[in-house]
Amino acid sequence: MAASRRVLPGFNLTLGYTLFYLSVIVLIPLTALIFKTLSLTWDQFMGAVSAPRVMASYRLTFGASLIAACVNAVFGLLIAWVLVRYTFPAKKIVDALVDLPFALPTAVAGIALTALLAGNGWVGQYFEPWGIKLAFSPNGVVIALIFIGLPFVVRTVQPVLEDLEKELEEAAACLGASRLQTFIKVIFPAIFPALSTGFAMAFARAVGEYGSVIFIAGNMPMVSEITPLIIIGKLEQYDYAGATAVATVMLVISFVMLLVINALQGWQRKQTGAAQ
């Protein structure tokens, strides 16, 4: 087969252009970030990335992203299940609507959620009398992150559920398993890799999210200030070194998340490959 590869023309052109464009748009600018960070001393770097206000922002960013990804894992799985297994009116519209967070600009989502959850909003007014603040608090951050992360879980779990073989469930039922046992012992293990992938994608997206969060968070230092906003704050004070240091921490986390997601997808492919 080695020779047949050569039949199709364009290898040098397409790969060359791909590498060129990738370098110009992504790799060289990212290198600038790394070089700028390397120009800092260790103490400067640590001082910037471990200041109390920055540490508080990590706690909020990662805590809220984790809660949001967990909520999305549960409800995303439920929505995917309902869309694949059951029939109900307007199902196709609901299915299309799941992608809304992908298509709706984050700033629009941000101001819409703020309008809803503020003390006088459609939803917020019912929580205000109980002393629960939804907007302008960490609660608002979690809600915004749930919004933007939902389609990741639904869209990774849905195709796997669709391809699941009914025979396995029938076999489980014939062997005396209850429906719940079948779900826990047969269905759940089969969709678990996909669910983990969706969870990781929702988490990764939530950690870097900016647009939908800043309107609703209130942005109080130490309380409801996310890490991307810390970078913006430093940039506005012309503290490029500090902004770069914090950005490097976020970039490293993105790399790690990307590797985790790749590994999870590999696991998922192996699992579905083994089942066939």
Partner 1 sequence: MSQLTVARRRAISTTESPWIQAVLIAIALVFIALFLVLPLAAVFAEALRKGLGAYWLALLEPDAWAAIRLTLLTAVVAVPLNLVFGVAAAWAIAKYEFRGKSFLTTLIDLPFSVSPIVAGLIYVLVFGAQGWFGPWLAEKNIKIIFAVPGIILATIFVTFPFIARELIPLMQSQGSEEEQAAIVLGASGWQTFWRVTLPNIKWGLIYGVILCNARAMGEFGAVSVVSGHIRGQTNTMPLHVEILYNEYQSVAAFAVASLLALLALVTLAIKTWVEWRHAAEMRELSQLPPERPMNTVPIAQ
d(CA 69, CA 227): 17
Contact mark string toward partner 1, 200..239, x via CB under 8 A: ----xx-xxxxx---x------------x--xx--x----
Q: Interaction with partner 1 in 131-190: which residues (CB under 8 A)?
A: 143, 146-147, 150, 166, 169-170, 172-174, 179
CA distances from 25 to 21, 31, 32, 240 (A): 6, 11, 12, 21
- Distance between CA atoms of 3 and 24, rounded to whole angstroms? 33
d(CA 125, CA 130): 10
Per CB under 8 A, contacts with partner 1 among 98-137 are: 98-109, 111-113, 115-116, 121-123
- Closest CB 113 distance from partner 1, rounded Å: 5
- Residue closest to 205 by CA, chosen among 134, 84, 106: 106
Write the interaction track for partner 1 spanning residues 240-259; mark x where CB under 8 A is met and - where it is not: x--xx--x--xx--xx-xx-
The interface with partner 1 within residues 1-60 (CB under 8 A) comprises: 1, 3-5, 7-11, 13-15, 17-19, 21-22, 25-30, 32-33, 36
Spatial contact of 211 and 106, defined as CB atoms under 8 Å apart: yes
- Where helices occur in 164-239 by DSSP H, the ranges are 166-174, 179-182, 188-208, 211-217, 227-236
- Residue from 44, 62, 75, 271 binding partner 1 (CB under 8 A): 75
Given candidates 41, 42, 43, 88, which one binds partner 1 under the rule CB under 8 A? Answer: 88
